[in-house]
Every structure is written in C-alpha cells, then in structure tokens.
C-alpha cells in the first residue's frame, strides 16, 4: 500500500499481455511499477496511459535475465511503492527462430530459458525476500504468466515449452514456500492471445480458431488475461494457492 492504494510490480508491462494486466490493475486502484527492456522515451505512449489511470505509477527499465538489473528493479520498485502487494511475472520471449527441436541451437535454448525461467525465478526470489520481510496484513499474491505450452507440445519451439513447464514448477514451489508469509501464488496459462508474440503466426492461428480449435471461438485479447490477473490479485480466489488458471478459450479441453 502507498497512499491508500494497493501496489503491484508487473514485468513486461508496456505491451501485449503485460499492458493488458498493468492497465487493468491501474484502472482498479493499483499503483504499478511497470518493468520493461526499452528506454523510457520509447514507451511514452504507454506510461502516459498508465499514469492517466494511476498517477503514481512509474516505469523501470531493466532486463530480467541480468543479475544486476534484477537487483536494481527490486530496489527501485520497493523504493517507489514502499509496500508491494502483488508481483506479476509476465515478461517472456519466444525463440527468435521456430526451429525443429532436432535442429534447435544451444544459444536459443539458453536465451529463452535465461529470460523466461532463470530470470523470472531469480527476480521472484529477489522480490519475495523483500515481501516476506515486510509487515503487511493486506492480501498479497505472486502471479506467474506461463502458457498452455507448459503442457502442450510444440516441437518447433521446444525451448519455449521447456521454459514454461519449468516456470510452472517454480510457481508451485513459490506457492509452497511463501504460504507462511500469507502470500498466495497463482499460475495463469494463456492460450493464443493477440500480441506481437503471435503476430507472425496470426494467419495460421486465425485459420485454426475458425476451424474449431477453441470452444470459445475467438482469439484471446490482453484484456482477457488482465481481468483474470486482476481477480487473482484482488483475492477473488483467496482460499487457494498454487493453482493454475487457463485463459485459453477452452482450448485445452480434451475431446473425444
């Protein structure tokens, strides 16, 4: 809490799903520390919208795969927010090239796991230590944005699937470890969401969705994930922790 408002850190906040999440939180009374890799002058349109909804929110430039940046992100976020109620681990990347797993490079494996898994795990550690040390009776939560790829195989981006499967276990571990501090932990698994990440394969996905891939017959929007994370952050599922919420239009329903 700062000046009576709940406080959240959101990574990868300036575009795509992170934008949907951070603006949903800002619109519903949160002050947000928004993290991204781009310089502040490259995200001015976003920060103007964020601050219109939540005037004390601010942007932190940082790369979650860098140890030094993770430390600075945590320090700047806690300095600006005072008490952190919610951490949303949304930042993530797809492989630069969708290569068959029999041809996948070690460089791509290291890059994707370095950001999605190692970076997110250790940023959470940095922030969770501080949250655990704070006296705070408010509802507190950590949300991990993984993917249906945590359990659905895509052999042309195996490193992404492995990173999200690993992150899913990280969410379970943090749920177990942070319960004693009153911090709930959730995993949100988006399906196909319209963002830069899926722009290059949009035609293929549109075709699959038109052909019945999702029982809810449309592509997901960042706002769909934003509303879900807002509900979790606000404590709507307060007597749960370590649970997975799929935001995938029902895509992972097994059918006969």
Ligand X SMILES: NC(=O)c1ccc[n+]([C@@H]2O[C@H](COP(=O)([O-])OP(=O)(O)OC[C@H]3O[C@@H](n4cnc5c(N)ncnc54)[C@H](OP(=O)(O)O)[C@@H]3O)[C@@H](O)[C@H]2O)c1
* Token pair recorded at residue 201: 């394969």
Instruction: Identify any residues that bridge with 61 across adjacent strands, giving them in sequence order.
Output: 36
CB of 216 to ligand X, least distance (A): 14
- CA–CA gap between residue 84 and residue 235 (Å, rounded): 15
CB of 226 to ligand X, least distance (A): 11
Residue 111 sits at φ, ψ, to 5 deg, of -65, -50
CB of 173 to ligand X, least distance (A): 18
Quick one: 5 or 78, whose CB is closer to ligand X?
78
- CA–CA gap between residue 57 and residue 9 (Å, rounded): 10
Quick one: 182 or 223, whose CB is closer to ligand X?
223
CB of 70 to ligand X, least distance (A): 9
Quick one: 123 or 141, whose CB is closer to ligand X?
123
Task: Give the residues lining the site for ligand X (CB under 6 A).
Answer: 11-12, 14-18, 35-38, 63-65, 90-93, 115, 119, 145, 147, 190, 192-193, 195-198
CB 174 within 8 A of CB 185: yes
Strands 6-11 and 30-36: parallel
- Active site members: 160
Quick one: 238 or 250, whose CB is closer to ligand X?
250
CB 141 within 8 A of CB 235: yes
Enumerate residues 6+ apart whose C-beta is below 8 A from 130.
74, 78, 84
């Amino acid at each position: 809490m700062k000046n009576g408002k709940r406080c959240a850190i959101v990574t990868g906040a300036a575009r795509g799903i992170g934008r949907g999440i951070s603006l949903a939180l800002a619109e519903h009374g949160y002050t947000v520390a928004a993290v991204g890799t781009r310089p502040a002058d490259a995200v001015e349109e976003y920060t103007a919208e964020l601050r219109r909804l939540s005037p004390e929110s601010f942007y932190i430039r940082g790369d979650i795969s860098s140890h030094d940046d993770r430390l600075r992100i945590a320090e700047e976020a806690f300095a600006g927010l005072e008490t952190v109620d919610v951490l949303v681990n949304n930042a993530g990347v797809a492989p630069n090239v969708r290569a068959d797993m029999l041809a996948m490079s070690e460089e791509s494996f290291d890059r994707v796991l370095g950001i999605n898994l190692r970076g997110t795990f250790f940023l959470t550690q940095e922030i969770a230590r501080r949250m655990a040390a704070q006296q705070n009776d408010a509802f507190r939560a950590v949300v991990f944005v993984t993917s249906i790829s945590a359990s659905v195989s895509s052999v042309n981006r195996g490193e992404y699937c492995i990173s999200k499967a690993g992150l899913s276990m990280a969410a379970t571990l943090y749920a177990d470890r942070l319960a004693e501090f009153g911090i709930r932990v959730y995993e949100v698994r988006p399906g196909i969401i319209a963002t830069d990440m899926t722009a290059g394969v949009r035609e293929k996905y549109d075709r699959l969705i038109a052909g019945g891939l999702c029982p809810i017959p449309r592509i997901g929007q960042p706002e769909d994930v934003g509303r879900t994370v807002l509900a979790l952050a606000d404590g709507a599922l307060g007597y749960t922790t370590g649970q997975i919420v799929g935001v995938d239009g029902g895509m992972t329903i097994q059918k006969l």
